[in-house]
Structure 1
Amino acid sequence: MSAAVCANAPEVLTRIAEPDVHLAIWEAGRPSRLDWLDTLDLAGISDLSFPCALTDLDREIGDGLAEAGYPDGAERDVLGELMADLARRFAAIMGCAEVKVRLEVIRTDACRKFHADYVPARLIATLAGPGTQWIEADRIIEGNPEEIHQMRAGDVGLFKGRLLAPEPAILHRSVPLSAIGGTRLLLVLDPLGVGGGDGMSGVLSSLDGLIPVAVLTGFLGSGKTTTLNALVRSPEMARALVIINEFGEVGLDHDLVTQGHEEMQVEMIGGCLCCTIRGDLLATLRDAPWRFAREGRCWFDRVVIETTGLADPAPILHTLMRDHTLETIYRLDSVIATVDAVNGAATLERQEEAV
């Protein structure tokens, strides 16, 4: 039995709640009233990304399309109506009170690897350009192009994510545009608040699949790196993703992580995945599940974030607990603070930053 179901009626999307269904495709096709998107100059269009309660859906989408540069008039209204309709259908199926709405212009090989997202479920619809590709997970190792399926522009795919299916049967990716050229206009919806209605709310509220995150902090020279080096060598940390927000005066041992010129450098030592991040921590955490995937499967099962010796951990904690996307992927497990047992009291007196 295939894990993907397809039909030309929207009711097929509700089948995502079935245990054996990992992808439901409404073969809607794009309505002719949106054909103008094929000739729209996407170079002047900005991406949209915002959380929205269902009660504010029409206004938020309308305002967002205007701010993003979509031309005023009946055509923009049609686009907004389609987005709002899909958002309401999605929310009803998922039993959620809010949705995360993204409307993005894809110009590069974004998400070029087959993967499953770290969300309960994700709705994907290509509104212009080539549609999303998908493949059965047990076929990806063969690498046979004939096993790859592709949705049409206007088709609506509801993909079950890893929070509902830790071993996904269906993987998907964005079309590699470097090989064919062109751009895509992609609509993505994610569930946020879990409501009290029907649909999948009961399943969502009982999830226990969030990835635990530990934040390791402490003043310069207090022993953070020594502690981290000991931790990553333990068997329990064999599949840990270690994020070093910035190199401090005391770095990890050279045989564990070496600092290079790349924005992110990865070393595989003793089965532990370590990366050095100098960019945006928020974007790193959002991208990590697919960026560090192996054959379409997320490789790490926990995260450790080491702050610099002068960093205040509060912004990191706030990011983990308040970002709508991260809260569907991670949970804050612990905050570990190292203290120099001999010199700690003196450091607190001399260094205001240590307090």
Structure 2
Amino acid sequence: MARPDASDLAHRLGREAEAVCRHYLANGRRQGNYWQVGDVRNTPGRSMFVRLKDSTKGPAGKWTDAATGEHGDLLDIIRESCGLLDFADVVVEARRFLSLPHLEPQPAPRKPASTPTRMGSAEAAGRLFAMSQPIAGTLVETYLRKRGITALHGTGSLRFHPRCYYRPDEHSATETWPAMVAAVTDLEGRITGAHRTWLAQDGSGKAPIDIQRKAMGDLLGHAVRIGVPGAVMAAGEGIETMLSLRQVVPDLAVAPALSAAHLAAILFPPQLRRLYIVRDNDPAGDGARDILIDRASAAGIEAIVLSPAMGDLNEDLRHLGLDALRAGLRPQLAPEDVARFLSLVA
């Protein structure tokens, strides 16, 4: 039997990627199509992920550690997790795992370097979201409750990362802060980007840093989607603003677009018939409102503007209270939506 080279062994291991991870990275766990663990040496944690199935993003068995930038294949996992120094020993261990006949070890051919994921890409955004955890019981929940937001159903697009990288510019040192990570998706639900809001260590507010929010990936036309859109939905700028609206109309699907420019360009679901445009009380908000009204009208969609009493709906919620926010929004809603969305909470 001919001796398989390194790429052939890696391919064979890739067909058993989840079994390899369960054996050599037993401190991790499966999350969707990835295995998550602390690092390639099997430390508990969530910063490293291993692809478990072939996809358009790459072959099964490829892994990346977001904390260190390391990447490789399943042979590297065997080497590091077992503490092996000689590649010949890695081959022996890999063949043992695959139940292949033992062969005399020989020097392995040089492996081509993996192509790293481009920083800020849609793939990097998806990986960041995959490495984060649901918000229940985390600092994200603390942060949102501090802002008066307690209706957190349907917020699967929001997650928590305890040590999310922060670097204000290329000349600054990298820091880590807790962060709310939001998935930006297209109309089919594919992740195209991610938005990070860095938080204070106790969740009492945003982190004390210069740039407290950043987005990455492909954002134009897309949004953070909360709730299941139907014939009626609402779109606005900020996540906190749109979650504040859901305090009053908890069953209404909302889509934070993250900025005025992206709000003006948001794509409409095909079933949409009425769009509530939640404006921020500033010139950029007015511009986005006007563009979106024109686009919705051209698409045969009724557009209704919801305006805050203060700077945005979250300011209204925090400073005026839920009852005042509800009283301010009620006359702005279409009568049929008052009956549909407010009947249980009015």
Same fold at TM > 0.5: no
Higher strand share: 1
**TM-score scaled by structure 1?**
0.24
Q: What's the TM-score, normalizing by structure 2?
A: 0.25
Kindly name which structure, 1 or 2, has the bigger radius of gyration based on alpha carbons: 2
Q: Which has the higher contact order (CA 8 A, sep 6+)?
A: 1
